[in-house]
Amino acid sequence: MPDVNFYIIGKVKTRYMPKKLPSNLQMMGYVDNLEEWYKKARVYCQFSRYESFGLSVIEAMNYGCIPVVFNAGALPEIVGEYGIISNSEDSLDKDIYNALSMKQKPGLVDWLSQFDNKHREKKIIEVIENL
């Protein structure tokens, strides 16, 4: 996908990276203000097969990014109809292009409110009280 710029934010094990990176891929490492990156991005990719929840996906969606995730863990439940759930590495380029052409769906912010801290606290208290 030479016509799309990619930024990898966070720590990456270099053994998984090619020796020479494509010119449209930049390794950013850790960044101080992740929200600024979410605001700049149109698509957020989370290609984890082991992600148990995906809070960063929700944060990115909250800033209007269209998520592209693997069909693993809780990621499909989080993304739902608001992004692309990929079943194969072979379709990632098509999936990312599809996400780039999508518009954010109305109601996303309301849906995300179920994951805010107050809602989570209330639900945890309910579970504890019912033990």
Using DSSP's 3-state secondary structure scheme, residue 74 falls into coil
With the C-alpha atoms ordered 112, 118, 122, 125, is the resulting torsion angle positive or negative? positive
**What φ, ψ does residue 109 adopt, rounded to 5°?**
-65, -40
- The pTM of this model reads 0.77
Q: What is the mean pLDDT of residues 95-110?
A: 80
Residue 81's domain spans which residues?
A: 32-129
Nearest to 61 by CA among 72, 46, 71: 46
- For residue 79, being part of any structural domain is answered with yes
For residue 19, being part of any structural domain is answered with no
Q: What is the pLDDT of residues 26-56, one digit of tens each?
A: 989 899 989 999 999 999 999 887 766 778 8
pLDDT in tens, 23-34: 999 989 899 989
In a domain, 11, yes or no: no
